[in-house]
Amino acid sequence: MENKQLITVAHLKSFKEELLAEIRLLLKFNHRAAEKKWLKSREVRKLLNVCPGTLQTMRKQKTIPFQKVGGTIYYDQEKINEMLEKNSIDRHAD
């Protein structure tokens, strides 16, 4: 015996809304996970593509703000973004 089911437009619309809601929830969760408040030195070096010595020089020259807790140095992601924006070069300004 064949198992046939009738799918209506209303069923498809309902499925679409449920699927979109789940996708939005996943995107919201992943966005929060991707933007951490505090980064460690390793993450900042990777982000800025600099060596440990360069990052240390940036700290000494107060180019990049940081907090030290115990032996670990943390950098505020928002402050790094602000620094990058402040020091960006507009290539279309020529």
The structure tokens listed for 31 are 């966005």
Domain extents in the chain:
38-93
Question: If phi over 0 gives left and psi between -120 and 50 gives alpha, with beta otherwise, what is residue 3?
Answer: beta
State residue 83's pLDDT score.
Answer: 86
Q: What is the pLDDT of residues 42-88, one digit of tens each?
A: 999 998 999 999 999 999 999 999 999 999 999 998 898 888 888 77
pTM of model > 0.85: no
Q: Please classify residue 84 by burial: count the beta carbons closer than 10 Å to its beta carbon, then call 0-12 exposed, 13-18 middle and 19+ buried.
A: exposed
Predicted local distance difference test score (pLDDT) of residue 23: 86
Task: Give residue-wise pLDDT tens across range 5-50.
Answer: 888 999 999 999 898 888 887 777 665 555 678 999 999 999 899 9
CB atoms within 10 A of CB 47: 14
